Amino acid sequence: MEAPRSVLLCLLLACLGLHALGSEIIKGQKAPEKDFLYMASVQDKSRHHVCGGFLIDKNFVVTAAHCANDEPTSVVLGSHNLRTAKDVNRYDVKLCKHPSYVGIEEGDDIMLLKLSRKVRLDKSVKPIQLPNGNMKIKDKSNCRVAGWGWTRSQGKMVNELNVVDVPVVNLEVCKKQWAKLPANVICAGGYGTDKGFCRGDSGGPLVCNGKPVGVVSFNMRNERNCDYPNVPNVYTDIIKYLPWIKQVLKKRSC
């Protein structure tokens, strides 16, 4: 009997020592207080940070579909330091996974979180504008990724938002570095650098030219090792999912 494709891929990942959940920012620095006002900390019922995300309008946050595995129940907005986050900026959420998502290895790793009430925008909370469908990301473009994930191997989540610059990697080069690469992805960071994301950064945005073009999906690492991978970090390509995102935003439900 032929094994399911997803099972074979999982075995391959295990054999290669890969861990398919990208999750803190490596070789980065603290994010300026006046920047990244769209960043969201996605949290579980115990109010522990599990993933990143980003606000795109008053009703929705974008994150990765695989973050649903951590059973998130709320997001926190308006605070780079999670120790000083205020309950007024906490919003319960409804999960809206992309309808084609099955598992991270199959792609479509994107999810919208419907907020329980409209966000009150102010000097600390502002949405980020989505790219248009014609936006092109050039190879070697310098982009940014931010998060509250690990900053070193054997580490832990951090309270202060970190950010790092990462270069976009040519997709054909990326395909050669991965045994199997899902469709509709962007590769950036890792591969030839010592910079990128790690555990706890999943769902955060890859921002190029001020627009969120990718969602942190996965990288190569052992469970507790963030000594930087020799393969590119992989992000879901937001531009490919704009029709679905706009449909959900228009309906204000999923």
94 three-class SS: strand
Q: Residue 91 belongs to what H/E stretch?
A: strand 90-97
The single residue listed with the structure tokens 């009150």 is 120
Selecting among 108, 202, 217, 237, the annotated active-site residue is: 202
Distance CA 145, CA 158 (A): 15
Q: Which amino acid is at 196?
A: G
Question: Would residue 109 show up in a list of annotated catalytic residues for this protein?
Answer: yes
The single residue listed with the structure tokens 């998130």 is 72
251 three-class SS: helix
The single residue listed with the structure tokens 């204000």 is 252
DSSP state of 31: P
Distance CA 155, CA 58 (A): 34
| Cα–Cα distances in angstroms (integers) from residue 26 to residues 22, 41, 189, 190, in the given order | 12, 18, 10, 10
Distance CA 45, CA 129 (A): 29
Selecting among 19, 49, 66, 80, the annotated active-site residue is: 66
CA-CA-CA-CA torsion sign (73, 75, 80, 83)? negative
Selecting among 109, 201, 217, 237, the annotated active-site residue is: 109
- CB-CB neighbours of 27 under 10 Å: 17
Query: Is 228:56 a contact under the CB 8 Å cutoff?
Result: no
> Can you read off the two tokens belonging to residue 112?
């919208």
Active site residues: 66, 109, 202
